[in-house]
Chain A
């Protein structure tokens, strides 16, 4: 289980193959499920030219690890690896990688979905977008579930 926060561009597929070679015993896992999040060139009806991702060093890693540990406790998975970008990026850049290895596919599919969903809800990252018109603004919430942030702190 490993978390990496990257300031520079990432190649998620190289990250997965390098990690698998270094950390997993050969021949034991039946598959790996990946989620790769990439930057869109639109959001909430605006054309987006660039984005900067802010985070809370220390707390960000701690919360991603907590979510990964929950997934390990809940499903029969062998290993997991999360890489998340911070800093400046442009459309098509990969933002996040979640990789989960297991002996059987159901566990890694379910655990991967769990990790990306809870990472989006609770890990302290903030997107600041620059529109094509040059306007810079903080993204208010992740559009899939705007109410979730309120529930975390209760």
Chain B
């Protein structure tokens, strides 16, 4: 299974990448599994996640081809 991962704002700076492709050997993985694979930052309320541009949480089960985005709380408007 392969997913596209994107990082925004301060998380992009901390991780040092804006996007990447990540592959998993098994057929199932959660957002939490992905976060552990791509980062050594502990998961917290100040890290938001979206899968295919919809807000979700760390327990979300990923599918092949998903676009996953990690970012800090939003500050627009």
Q: Which residues of A contact B (CB under 8 A)?
A: 37, 53-56, 58-59, 62, 84, 95-96, 116, 119-128, 138-142, 146, 148-150, 152-154
Hey, which chain A residues are within 8 Å of B74, CB to CB? 120-126, 142, 149
Q: Which residues of B contact A (CB under 8 A)?
A: 6, 8-10, 13, 45-46, 48-50, 53, 55-57, 69, 71-77
Contact across chains for A152 and B53 when beta carbons are under 8 A apart = no
28 pairs, CB–CB < 8 Å, chain A vs chain B: A53-B76, A56-B53, A56-B71, A119-B76, A120-B76, A124-B8, A124-B50, A124-B71, A125-B74, A125-B75, A125-B76, A126-B8, A126-B10, A126-B74, A138-B9, A138-B75, A140-B73, A140-B75, A141-B75, A142-B76, A142-B77, A148-B73, A149-B45, A150-B45, A150-B46, A150-B73, A152-B55, A153-B57
Report how many A-B pairs have Cβ atoms within 8 Å.
89
Measured in the bound complex, the distance between the Cα atoms of B45 and A14 in whole Å is 40
Measured in the bound complex, the distance between the Cα atoms of B50 and A128 in whole Å is 21
Query: Which applies to chain A's interface (DSSP): helix, strand, loop or mixed?
Result: mixed
- 10 additional A-B residue pairs with CB within 8 Å, beyond A121-B74, A126-B10, A153-B48: A53-B76, A54-B8, A59-B53, A62-B53, A84-B77, A126-B9, A127-B76, A141-B75, A150-B73, A152-B48
